[in-house]
Structure 1
Amino acid sequence: MESASVWLLVFFLFIMIRTYFSVKNIFYSNKKIQENISYIFTDEKICMEGETFSEDFTWNSVYKVNENKEWFLIYHNAQTMNMVPKKYFTKEQLSELRDIIRKNNVKAKLRNH
């Protein structure tokens, strides 16, 4: 039984290390996600602007939004998301963004405050 536990631990460590290097490779191979990105949220769409690109997408194309203590995670599909830091928002802006998300019937897990 002890041998199975050791193999399970080795497998778990392998998965964690593999995931770390995969994410690191994705980050360094995609110059767009390394840029400073500005966001403008309207009732109709989300506007993103980086140093070398600008992109708009409508709320009805958003797969889901999750809000945690420090971030809004805006998913385009089950694997791809934009991470929007909340530290640059005022309390009023946070409330407005939550209202926009709700008004657009986006599948979302939002905080109450």
Structure 2
Amino acid sequence: MVQISYKLTKDELYKGLVDNSNTRVITKVLRIFGSVLLAVMLYLTTVNIINGINYFSMGYAFPMFLGAYLVFLPEATAKMQVPNLIKTKNPFTENVIVRIDRAGFRTKGETFSNSHSWDSVHSIVETKDSYLLKPTESTVTVLPKRVFTTEQTDEFKTIVASVTGPVVKMN
């Protein structure tokens, strides 16, 4: 069993939200669509400038803005959410105790308590700075790597390697 206690920093909360969003299929689809839209609009704008057409309207500005927004959607959304999550007493900003064992994981904060068995968990993802335990595709428990000792990291990875049910993406 691994037990850790932590409180997410503002930076960890931002990165956790972005990382969670980046693991979702819809985010990848929107990013591809936004990239194509942005490329087409930049091409059309360049052709118009070369041909001497300097008339730009919302017909050009809106698709370019939309394309850029879709490409940077996770970052923009997290940037807007984090200050509000920190101002309000949100479970993301509480001191949290997480217990991880072969049966599942339990999280306990100041205002909440959750328990998940591994067979009901959607996925477990390792990122550069954290581990994401995702009960569903859109919800996440962010575990910062900084709070794990070397022994806890080894035990956590051993537990995760033995679980069945969730999609596991570990480095």
| Alpha-carbon shift at residue 62 of structure 1 (Å) | 0.8
Q: Give the structure 1 partner of residue 64 of structure 2.
A: 9
Once the two structures are superposed, what CA deviation does each residue of 1:16-62 show, in whole Å capped at 9, x if it has no partner?
486243x3487366722221211111111211111122221111111
TM-score (norm 2): 0.54
Stretches of structure 1 that go unaligned for 5 or more consecutive residues are none
CA distance in 1, matches of 2:118, 2:157: 13
Matched, 1:86 2:145: yes
- What residue identity is the alignment partner of 1:84? L
Q: Which has the higher helix share?
A: 2
Q: Give the structure 2 partner of residue 50 of structure 1.
A: 109
- What residue identity is the alignment partner of 2:161? R
Residues 124 and 168, structure 2, Cα contact 8 Å, conserved in 1: yes
Identical-residue share of aligned pairs (%)? 22
- What residue identity is the alignment partner of 1:70? D
Once the two structures are superposed, what CA deviation does each residue of 1:47-80 show, in whole Å capped at 9, x if it has no partner?
1111122221111111001101210011111111
Stretches of structure 2 that go unaligned for 5 or more consecutive residues are 1-43, 46-55
Matched, 1:101 2:160: yes
**Closer/same/farther in 2, CA of residues 85 and 63 from structure 1, 3 Å limit:** same
| Alpha-carbon shift at residue 102 of structure 1 (Å) | 1.6
| Alpha-carbon shift at residue 13 of structure 1 (Å) | 4.3
Q: Which has the higher strand share?
A: 1
Give the count of matched residue pairs. Answer: 110
Equivalent position SS for 1:55 = strand
